[in-house]
Amino acid sequence: MSSYNHSMIRKTLKKTSKHKKFNDFIKKYKIPREYLSTNRKMVSKAVFIGLFIAFIPMPMQMLAVLAIMPFLKFNVPIALAMCWLSNPLTMPPLYYIEYLTGSFILGTEIAPVEMTIDWFSENLDDIFIPLYFGTLLFSVFGASIGYWLVNHFWKGSVQRDKKLHRKSR
């Protein structure tokens, strides 16, 4: 992505949060504003939380994001959107890679996987620990990289805007 795109994303988020229809929606449904804040810290936390949960093989990932709300402040819509990294198309390969990674690191035998409900129910005891060990690695590292990238590009975008502003004076 070019530096122009990073700046545009940041500016679009800021502009949207000040839009009249957006503010009317917040008032109508009594949504706490901090859960929709578009500053760097709130967005990077949202990306971290959403990606962390996205890598976990579990049903209702979006509800897990909502369950975290009372304990942490973050941009909830962005965190919910990040959960969709794992979707019906990406789940099988993502979870298989997590399983392979966990098996490799733990040194366990890799069972030949069949993508059927019967196979999973019959083999859950054998794949559970390697799968969730791999999940932990992907969740921690994937979410941390996402957090770092948002901070890095956001700060770079602000610095570029400041330089452009100084030049235009």
The string of pLDDT tens digits covering residues 138-147 is 999 999 999 9
pLDDT in the model for residue 161: 80
pLDDT at 30: 67
Q: Identify each DSSP E strand in the chain by its residue range.
A: none
The rounded distance, in Å, linking the Cα atoms of 131 and 98 is 6
Give residue 15's pLDDT band: very low, low, confident or very high (50, 70, 90).
Answer: low
Mean pLDDT of 109-132: 87
Which one, of 6, 88, 70, lies nearest residue 43 by Cα?
6
User: For a pLDDT cut of 90, what percent of the chain falls above it?
Assistant: 54
Smallest Cα–Cα separation from 58: which of 90, 31, 95, 24? 95
Structure tokens at 124: 């859950």
Burial of 94 (0-12, 13-18, 19+ CB in 10 A): buried
Reported as a single tens digit per residue, the pLDDT across 40-60 is: 999 999 999 999 999 999 999
Task: Tell me the per-residue pLDDT of 90-112, one tens digit each, with 9 for 90 and over.
Answer: 998 999 999 999 999 999 998 78
Question: Could you tell me if residue 59 is left (phi over 0), alpha (psi between -120 and 50 degrees) or otherwise beta?
Answer: beta
Quickly state the pLDDT bin for 32 (edges 50, 70, 90). Answer: confident
